[in-house]
Each structure stands twice: as C-alpha cells, then as structure tokens.
C-alpha cells in the first residue's frame, strides 16, 4: 500500500514488517525518527518486541550483540558520532558472525558539529566486515532493509543499510509498504545458526591464539565472497514477490558511454537528471549507481567500467591523506584489470552541502576536458 513516508519511517516500517524482536538504540539526529517510531510500536503493541533505551551507541550495539547471540532478530540505527563510537563493536559483530541489521544515516563527523549529509562516517567503517548498501530513495530503503535480513541470516554477516541524512531520512516520498503476509513469505522467522542454549552449552568468543585466528578471519572473507551470488538470489525472490529489484550496481546509459559517472545515495537521483540532459546534448555519458559497497563488487566494476574512456567518481566523503574513498576503491579494483581507464575523483557535498545538477555538470565537463586527472581528488564547490 502506497503511503507518503519520511525516509526514516521507510526504515521503521521495514523493521516492523520484519518482525524484529529486540532493538536497542541511542538517539542521534537524524536517526531519531526511526527509533521514536519503533519505540512507539513497542509501546502500543504494534510490534511484539523489546526496545532497550541504552545509554550510548556503544551499548546499543553491545545489547544487540547480546540479543543476537541468543538467536533473535535484532536491529539498531545510528549515525556519525554514534557509528564512530560503535566502531569497536562493528568489528565484533561481524567476527561473531551475527546477522544484525543496522540503519545508518550518513552524517558528518565533528568537530565542528554538523548534522547533515556526509558519507565519511559509514565509509570509515568499511574495514569492519559489515555488508554495506547505499540507498537512493525511500522505497529502496524499505526494500533493502527487508532484503538485508534475508541476506544477513543466510550468510551470517551483519548488514548496514545506509541513507543520506535529511536528503533521504527527512524527505517525504510515496513508498509502497508491502503486505505483512507477503513479507512473511519472503522473510520467515529467524532460524539462527548461533543461539546460546543452556541445554547445549558452549562458549562464544573465547581467546583465539595465532594458530587459529587467521583461519577464522579467512572464513569471514569466504562468506563475504559468497554475498554477491546470494544477494542475486535474494533479490530474485524479492522481485518475484514484490516486483522490484535494484542490483548491486545499476547502469544508466552505460553501454555506449565514453564517460561514466559513479554515484551513490540521493546524489544518484540528481545525476539521472543530469545524464539525461547531457545525453540530449549528445554527450556519451552514463551513470553507474553503486549500491553494494561491501563486499566490493569487483567483477561488476571491472565489467562495467573497464571499457570506457574515463570514469568520474563523486565522493561525498574523504579519507584524509589519501583521497575520496569510492574513487580509491575503484582505482584499486581496476588496477590489475586489463582495461583500466583513468579515474577522475571529485569531492562534493560534504557536511550537508548540496550536490546540485550544476555541480554534477561541472564535474562532467571537467572530466571530459582533461586527458588525465589534474589531481588525485578535485574538490568541487569550495568557496574561496
């Protein structure tokens, strides 16, 4: 049933439909609407679940780890500082192979305080072993959250569903809220592979000395490597029931493009308009929307980007002392590829600054008019 929903509530509706059992979160703008809605659902009985109002994000993830270890479906949400605070436990969740799903609202890191859109927070966690999906609109958020549970519970790896602060979290759009019965078909109750049990006692998280640790780590990577195939299957099922799929990446006018712009999040929406306009001007430009960032879809990136002349990557994030993170990863992915076109990295829209059609157009022309990138990262839209 279609409803006009705020992006935050696309999350909370998905969590409700997924019949999550234990949730724990600490409020942080712009995630607050998610947790408030879920608190209300617990309070009025809409959800048969427990919501633990813990005293920090670190504790929120700890509580979720505790609950998930007992074999129940869990959820948390955070942003920015909260995600950074959770960092230690993000590593923990994945190495513990717990199927946790988290909504992460991309927000800038302080100081100075900035509650608006920035991707550095979630990307700084790219090494923690979480699957990461970047969403463009409310529908995608809801759908991805449902798929995230199915995926997480199949591979036993945690999933982060990322949405832009304010541009997505606080923007109202029409969203189709699926029927509970259909969701139940797609997402049956959790049948956990890990569940503490007094009748079959075992210990979780014991010391793993050098002779065994590496094998455990390798096992995480092996699971990650299977994610793309499984995601395809999960999406297939989702598509069959709900009629929508997204792919790990989405190609827009890529097949004959000379320049491809790689985009993530809501800026991808803006880019669709820009691509359309440029195409009508005769430009051979396309957009590759990157949805799944972890595991990094190496083969897809090589397949879709290898044949073009130039690649323009728009990063709404930065790894200081290096470059924009998406650009960095794409360069690395293409390096060993037979075809590795130059990657033009652009930094735009940090800390809530809008990524306008003008900026994206500027980025296109900068890319077209330069044979090679003038800089590892070109910061666009800076005010002198």
Give me the count of residues in the chain.
Answer: 384
Interface mask toward other proteins for 129-168; x: CB under 8 A: ---------------------xx-xxxx------------
Interface mask toward other proteins for 17-56; x: CB under 8 A: ----xx-x-----------------------xxx-xxxxx
Q: Provide the 8-state DSSP code for 52.
A: E
Token couple for 229 = 């195939």
Residue 245 binds to other proteins (criterion: CB under 8 A): no
Per the DSSP assignment, residues forming a β-bridge with 332 are none
Answer whether the bond into residue 241 is a cis peptide, omega within 30°: no
Do the beta carbons of residue 124 and residue 322 sit within 8 Å? no
What's the CA gap between 90 and 80, in Å, rounded? 14
Element (H, E) at 51: strand 50-52
Do the beta carbons of residue 170 and residue 7 sit within 8 Å? yes
Q: Binding other proteins by CB under 8 A: which of 171, 226, 258, 370?
A: 226
Tokens 């793993």 label which residue?
Answer: 208
- Using CB under 8 A, which of the segments 1-9, 85-93, 309-317, 376-384 binds other proteins? 85-93
Least distance between other proteins and beta carbon 325 (Å): 26
- In Å, how far from its chain's centre is CA 86? 16
- Using CB under 8 A, which of the segments 31-39, 91-99, 299-307, 318-326 binds other proteins? 91-99
- In Å, how far from its chain's centre is CA 292? 7
Residue 203 binds to other proteins (criterion: CB under 8 A): yes
Q: Binding other proteins by CB under 8 A: which of 12, 31, 59, 367?
A: 59
**3 state DSSP class of 251:** strand
Q: Binding other proteins by CB under 8 A: which of 17, 89, 105, 259?
A: 89
Applying CB under 8 A, the residues found at the interface with other proteins are 21-22, 24, 48-50, 52-56, 58-60, 62-72, 74, 88-89, 92, 95-97, 150-151, 153-156, 185-186, 193-194, 196-198, 200-209, 212, 215-216, 219, 222-223, 226, 229-230, 233-234, 236-237
């Amino acid at each position: 049933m279609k409803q006009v929903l705020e992006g935050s509530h696309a999350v909370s509706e998905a969590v409700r439909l997924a019949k999550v059992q234990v949730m724990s979160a600490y409020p942080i703008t712009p995630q607050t609407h998610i947790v408030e809605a879920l608190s209300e659902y617990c309070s009025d009985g809409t959800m048969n679940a427990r919501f633990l109002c813990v005293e920090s994000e670190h504790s929120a993830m700890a509580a979720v780890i505790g609950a998930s270890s007992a074999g129940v479906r869990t959820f948390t949400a955070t942003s920015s500082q909260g995600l950074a605070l959770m960092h230690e436990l993000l590593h923990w969740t994945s190495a513990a192979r717990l199927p946790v799903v988290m909504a992460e609202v991309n927000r800038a890191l302080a100081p100075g305080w900035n509650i608006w859109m920035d991707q550095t927070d979630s990307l700084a966690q790219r090494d923690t072993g979480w699957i990461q999906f970047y969403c463009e609109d409310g529908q995608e958020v809801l759908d991805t959250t449902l798929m995230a549970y199915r995926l997480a519970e199949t591979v036993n790896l945690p999933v982060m569903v990322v949405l832009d602060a304010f541009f997505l979290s606080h923007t109202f759009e029409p969203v189709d809220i699926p029927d509970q019965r259909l969701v139940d078909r797609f997402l049956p109750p959790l049948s956990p592979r890990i569940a503490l049990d007094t009748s079959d006692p075992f210990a979780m998280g014991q010391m793993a000395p050098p002779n065994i640790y590496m094998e455990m780590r390798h096992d995480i990577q092996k699971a990650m490597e299977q994610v793309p195939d499984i995601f395809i299957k999960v999406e297939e099922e989702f598509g069959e029931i709900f009629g929508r799929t997204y792919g790990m990446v989405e190609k827009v006018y890529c097949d004959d493009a000379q320049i491809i712009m790689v985009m993530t999040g809501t800026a991808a929406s803006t880019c669709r308009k820009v691509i359309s306009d440029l195409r009508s001007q005769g430009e051979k430009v396309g957009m590759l929307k990157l949805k799944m960032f972890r595991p990094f879809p190496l083969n897809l990136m090589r397949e879709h980007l290898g044949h073009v002349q130039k690649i323009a990557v728009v990063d709404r994030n930065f790894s200081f002392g290096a470059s924009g993170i998406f650009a960095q990863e794409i360069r690395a992915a293409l390096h060993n590829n037979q075809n590795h076109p130059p990657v033009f990295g652009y930094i735009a829209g940090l800390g809530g600054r809008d990524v306008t059609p003008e900026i994206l157009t500027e980025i296109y022309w900068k890319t077209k008019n330069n044979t090679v990138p003038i800089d590892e990262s070109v910061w666009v839209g800076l005010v002198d």
